[in-house]
């Protein structure tokens, strides 16, 4: 009897252990080690559905949490590469991942591919190899907007309004300006054949144009306004040679003993910070603060001062601005206004006051990261950046800021609600982004 009881007890223990190991017999796959959950159903998850009211405690942004989050990215890329049902282009998914990270930042923080990077370098270097003309895609063809004076295109007789029908026997029907530019640019000394349709001439014209190094001037024009003794200087960009060109132009006007100067920064989208500082110091006393920057960390706060005596120190100065005056142009305008050195005339400026740096993110330098690292502030303490200029286009933050700006613009009394700052001489100037001119002038629309 005792022996039978022991055997029965042992059988019961074995049965319980077997059930524990094997399970109850239900066809359910678990997520234990070595077993994955494989779905074969038609359940749709609404990822856009608002989250429930469950409160989730925000994680602290520590070094360890950052490393854990980075591990999620690498693990996701690894799984896609090795386990997705079809072969994927890993370069494309990594690029998409980087663009996804940048999508929540400001609109100027972007991943730059070779074409965009080279274009940026050309604008700051002030030169490229090509024919020397501005083009646009119109009426299904490439149209010459304007040949640049002194370039191969200008010397060959190409005119504004000429329609380019072929580039080296390749038709331009439906061609983009970037594709046309690639075909026309090349090593200096080589040639390109252009087939042109010109208004008033029945036959197509052919021009063989030799490429050359094209210098992009920052000072487009300088001289004295007719029937006055007022100097005028037009500046289109802040590139590497800007301050040298400006210094030469103003010195020549000083030699003619001008009574005043009009400095035209309309539609000047900015450029290099050091050139903006060197431009401002042409007019401000040595040692004057021009601009300072502030970012996330205390080390990002940097103050920049004029380091040389001005060459145009005390005569009347007017700076022309408009909605296209941005970034470096706003730094110069804001510094001149804050030190009461001259009057700002025109329209409210664009409001782009973000500091960017270019970072190489791969060994072959094919991709570059243009990242915003700080904001610009003019001497009075005004931040140049407008809120509605910061978020990515079409983002929720951008739409919200834009709506607030539209409501503000619809109420003329709202200007008094902007933060108040004071110039060196005690005049009131308003913050809120951009530079508000001392004298506003309505522009004619043609």
Strand partners, 360: 368
Q: Is 168 exposed, middle or buried (0-12, 13-18, 19+ CB in 10 A)?
A: exposed
* Catalytic annotation present for 352: yes
The pLDDT assigned to 9 comes to 46
Which stretch of DSSP H or E encloses residue 255? Answer: helix 242-255
The pLDDT assigned to 288 comes to 97
* Catalytic annotation present for 32: no
Tell me how far CA of residue 255 lies from CA of 229, 259, 338, in angstroms. Answer: 12, 11, 28
Rounded CA-CA distance 209/157 in Å is 10
The pLDDT assigned to 298 comes to 85
For 231-252, the DSSP string reads EEEEE--B-TTHHHHHHHHHHH
The pLDDT assigned to 18 comes to 40
Catalytic residue among 166, 352, 386, 405: 352
The pLDDT assigned to 267 comes to 86
Beta carbons within 8 Å of 136's beta carbon, 6+ residues apart: 142, 143, 145, 177
Q: Are 371 and 356 in contact (CB under 8 A)?
A: yes
Q: Are 200 and 239 in contact (CB under 8 A)?
A: no
Catalytic residue among 338, 375, 388, 405: 338
Rounded CA-CA distance 373/297 in Å is 10
Rounded CA-CA distance 165/155 in Å is 20
**Which domains does the chain show, CATH number per domain?**
66-102 (no CATH), 128-215 (2.30.42.10), 219-440 (3.90.226.10)
Residue 202: how many other CB atoms lie within 10 Å: 6
Beta carbons within 8 Å of 161's beta carbon, 6+ residues apart: 143, 144, 198, 199
Q: Are 134 and 145 in contact (CB under 8 A)?
A: yes
- DSSP class of residue 397? H
Tell me how far CA of residue 331 lies from CA of 66, 354, 411, in angstroms. Answer: 35, 11, 27
Rounded CA-CA distance 372/295 in Å is 9
Strand partners, 136: 143
Nearest Cα neighbor of 264 from 214, 177, 192, 324 is: 324
Residue 122: how many other CB atoms lie within 10 Å: 17
Q: Are 183 and 170 in contact (CB under 8 A)?
A: yes
Using DSSP, how many helices (H) and how many strands (E) does the chain show? 10, 21
Rounded CA-CA distance 340/77 in Å is 56
Rounded CA-CA distance 237/253 in Å is 20
- pLDDT per residue as tens, the chain (446 positions): 445 444 444 544 444 444 443 344 433 344 444 566 666 665 555 555 555 555 556 667 788 888 888 899 899 999 999 999 999 999 899 999 999 999 989 888 999 888 778 777 777 776 788 998 888 888 888 999 888 878 899 999 999 889 999 999 899 998 988 889 889 988 999 999 999 999 999 999 999 999 999 888 899 899 999 999 999 999 988 988 899 999 999 999 999 999 999 999 998 988 899 999 999 999 999 999 999 999 988 888 999 999 999 999 999 999 999 998 999 999 999 999 999 999 999 999 999 999 989 998 877 778 899 999 999 999 999 999 998 656 665 555 455 555 545 554 444 445 557 899 999 999 999 998 999 999 999 877 76
Q: What are phi and psi of 8, to 5 degrees?
A: -65, -40
Tell me how far the alpha carbon of residue 84 is from its chain's centroid. Answer: 35
Please compute, for residue 395, the number of CA atoms within 13 A of its CA located in the half-sphere on the CB side.
17
Pairing of strands 110-112, 368-377: antiparallel
For 262-319, the DSSP string reads EEE-TT---B-HHHHHHHHTTTSPTT-EEEEEE-SSGGG-EEEE--S--SS-SS-EEE
Nearest Cα neighbor of 102 from 444, 387, 372, 334 is: 372
Q: Name the one residue in this structure whose structure tokens are 């010195």.
A: 251
* Catalytic annotation present for 338: yes
Pairing of strands 163-167, 170-171: antiparallel
Tell me how far CA of residue 20 lies from CA of 11, 17, 160, in angstroms. Answer: 14, 5, 86
Rounded CA-CA distance 312/246 in Å is 11
* H runs (alpha helix) in 84-220: 90-102, 114-125, 152-155, 177-184
Pairing of strands 191-197, 420-422: unpaired
Tokens representing 386 are 């407008």
- DSSP class of residue 127? E
Rounded CA-CA distance 423/335 in Å is 9
Catalytic residue among 218, 327, 329, 333: 327
């Amino acid at each position: 009897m005792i022996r039978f009881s022991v055997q029965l007890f042992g059988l019961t223990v074995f049965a319980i252990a077997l059930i524990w190991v094997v399970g109850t017999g239900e066809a359910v796959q678990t997520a234990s080690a070595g077993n994955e959950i494989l779905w074969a159903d038609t359940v749709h998850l609404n990822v856009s559905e608002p989250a429930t009211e469950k409160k989730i405690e925000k994680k602290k942004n520590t070094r360890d949490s950052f490393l854990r989050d980075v591990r999620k990215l690498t693990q996701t890329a690894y799984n896609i590469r090795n386990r997705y049902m079809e072969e994927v282009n890993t370069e494309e998914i990594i690029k998409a991942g980087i663009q996804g990270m940048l999508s929540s930042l400001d609109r100027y923080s972007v991943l730059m591919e070779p074409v965009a990077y080279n274009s940026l370098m050309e604008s700051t270097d002030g030169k490229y190899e090509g024919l020397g003309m501005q083009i646009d895609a119109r009426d299904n063809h490439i149209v010459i907007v304007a040949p640049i004076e002194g370039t191969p295109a200008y010397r060959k007789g190409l005119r504004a309004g000429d329609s380019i029908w072929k580039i080296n026997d390749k038709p331009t029907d439906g061609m983009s300006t970037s594709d046309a530019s690639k075909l026309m640019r090349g090593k200096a000394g080589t040639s390109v054949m252009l087939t042109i349709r010109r208004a008033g001439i029945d036959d197509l014209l052919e021009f063989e144009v030799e490429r050359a190094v094209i210098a992009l001037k920052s000072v487009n024009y300088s001289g004295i306004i007719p029937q006055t003794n007022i100097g005028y200087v037009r500046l289109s960009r802040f590139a590497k040679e800007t301050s040298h060109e400006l210094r030469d132009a103003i010195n020549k006007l000083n030699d003619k003993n001008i009574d005043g100067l009009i400095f035209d920064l309309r539609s000047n989208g900015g450029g290099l910070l050091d050139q903006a500082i060197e431009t401002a110091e042409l007019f401000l006393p040595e040692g004057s603060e021009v601009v300072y920057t502030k970012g996330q960390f205390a080390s990002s706060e940097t103050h920049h001062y004029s380091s040389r005596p001005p060459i145009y120190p005390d005569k009347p100065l007017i700076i022309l601005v408009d909605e296209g005056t941005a970034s470096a142009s706003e730094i110069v305008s804001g510094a001149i206004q804050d030190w009461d050195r001259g009057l700002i005339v025109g329209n409210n400026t664009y409001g782009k006051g973000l500091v960017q740096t270019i970072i190489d993110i791969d060994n072959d330098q094919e991709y570059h990261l243009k990242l915003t690292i700080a904001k610009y502030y003019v001497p009075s303490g005004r931040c140049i950046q407008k809120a509605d200029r910061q978020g990515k286009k079409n983002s929720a933050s951008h739409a919200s800021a834009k709506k607030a700006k539209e409501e503000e613009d619809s109420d003329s009394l709202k200007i008094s609600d902007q933060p108040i700052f004071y110039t060196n001489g005690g005049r009131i100037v308003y913050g809120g982004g951009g530079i508000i001119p001392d004298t506003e002038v309505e522009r004619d629309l043609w």
